[in-house]
Amino acid sequence: MKILGIETAVDETAAAVVEDGFKVCSSVVSSQTAIHQKFGGVVPELAARTHLAKIIPTLDQALKRAGVSLEKIDVIAVSTTPGFLISLLVGIEVAKTLGYVFQKPIVALNDLESHAFANWLESPGLFQKIQDYLAWPMLYLIVSGGTTALFKADYFGHFNLLGETKDDACGEAFDKVAKMLGLPYPGGPIISKMANYGRADAFKFPRPLIRVKGCDFSFSGLKTAVFYEIQKLQREKNNLDDQTISDISASFQEAAIESVVFKTVQAAKDYKVKSIAIGGGVAANSRLRELLLQQSLVPVFFPKFVYCTDNAAMLAGCAYYYAQRKIFTHWSKVEPFVYKNGKGRICRL
Ligand code: KG4
């Protein structure tokens, strides 16, 4: 079964063709990093306009690389939450139009579930284990620029939120600390690179909510502590030298990653899961990988680096489970999930 995935939730315009849930025939990601870099974060209006310009060429390329025409596609998968409403709408309208014109069934997906399913793309052994129900119940840790959350998943389509960040997302904190240090956006990759040259114990930054029971996270207090430390150092030294920037990067990274790992390992014990699946841009962080593998008592899955940040292959892979059971959404009913009072519909039960 060949599934075409379409992703425009935030600032990546992406399309992919995946066969039978794990064979990636093509995955094209058109990143907008260069456009948003000068603002230090994603500007929704600009993101949506860029999606409009890029979505058709991106789709075209994904189909060409996979060597299939739209007629030969069995199912269309599209992300419908979470993300920027005006960004999501671009992908959704394209999926609806293709679904209507080519009479293809559509799977409307939650990006967060798809991030977890990125783990078995191109990994036939793991894919089989997942199909055979050997790794469930599973804990999903989704850590990205917009989300830091833990879910308990009984199987595809059945996942419940255990806790999430009360303020900034983990990736967002990396981006903001990078900005404070005069480093470019996105901050995660550059902070973790600088951290390799610094001492993680050079500065004592807080590990927020680590003593509080439950699965919630918080990063704004940590971010503020880094901000005050930078201000103090700037008063003393004027400009921060490279070694100080590396030390702050390493100390901040250690604090952020330790709190994520602590909460995740605790949740895995409390909820007696058989495995942990990580997803989202911060899943690319090598310290997170190292610490979690050291501390977890159950197997931990990390996606290949290319499938950590937003991409369409993860959607096309995840949609396979729905398509196998004919769980489709009619094109006229595919719409972004509505957010009320800052809370979204994040569980599909
Ligand atoms: O999943 P993603 O594309 O996020 C959303 O669109 O929400 O991931 C992007 C986020 C950014 O905040 C970026 O700084 C962070 O992932 N990130 C990292 C690393 N690589 C990307 N954070 C920490 N360490 C990394 N190596």
**Nearest Cα residue to 75 out of 317, 258, 263:** 317
Does 289 have pLDDT greater than 50?
yes
Question: Which range, 40-44, 98-102, 235-239, has the best average confidence (pLDDT)?
Answer: 98-102
174 lines ligand 1 (CB under 6 A): yes
C-beta of 186 in contact with ligand 1 (< 6 A): yes
280 alpha carbon – ligand 1 mean position (Å): 7
Q: What is the number of the ligand 1 atom nearest to the C-alpha of 146?
A: 7
Say whether pLDDT at 347 is over 90.
no
What per-residue confidence (pLDDT) applies to 300? 97
Residue 318 CA to ligand 1 center (angstroms) comes to: 21
| CA 171 / ligand 1 centre spacing (Å) | 5
* Lowest-confidence region among 4-13, 35-44, 185-194, 338-347: 338-347
299 lines ligand 1 (CB under 6 A): no
Retrieve residue 131's tokens: 């199909």
Closest atom, ligand 1, to C-alpha of 171: 12
Q: Is the CB of 175 under 6 A from ligand 1?
A: yes
Best probe residue, ligand 1, of 8, 111, 144, 346 (max atoms within 8 Å of C-beta): 144
At residue 20, does pLDDT exceed 80? yes
Q: Whose CA is nearest to atom 23 of ligand 1?
A: 188
pLDDT tens digit sequence for 54-87:
999 999 999 999 999 999 999 999 999 989 999 9
Ligand 1 atom with the smallest distance to the CA of 286 is 26
Instruction: Write the pLDDT tens digit of every residue in 194-226.
Output: 999 999 999 999 998 988 999 999 999 999 999
Q: How far is the CA of 346 from the centre of ligand 1 (A)?
A: 20
At 345 the pLDDT is: 41
pLDDT score recorded for residue 41: 82
pLDDT attached to residue 19: 98
Average pLDDT along the chain = 94
Q: Supply the pLDDT for residue 324.
A: 95
Is the CB of 168 within 6 Å of ligand 1?
A: no
For the Cβ of 189 lying below 6 angstroms from any atom of ligand 1, the answer is yes
Return d(Cα 184, Cα 179) in angstroms, integer.
Answer: 7
Higher per-residue confidence, 131 vs 269: 269
**Closest Cα to atom 5 of ligand 1:** 145
- Could you read off the pLDDT of 93-145 as tens digits, one per residue? 999 999 999 999 999 999 999 999 999 999 999 999 888 888 999 999 999 99
pLDDT at position 132 is 85
What confidence score (pLDDT) does residue 338 get? Answer: 54
171 touches ligand 1 (CB under 6 Å)? yes
Q: Would you place residue 340 in the very low, low, confident or very high pLDDT band (cuts 50, 70, 90)? A: very low
Whether 79 is in the pocket of ligand 1, judged by its Cβ within 6 Å, is no
* Protein residue whose Cα sits closest to atom 19 of ligand 1: 188
For ligand 1, whether the C-beta of 144 sits within 6 Å is: yes
At residue 147, the pLDDT reads 92
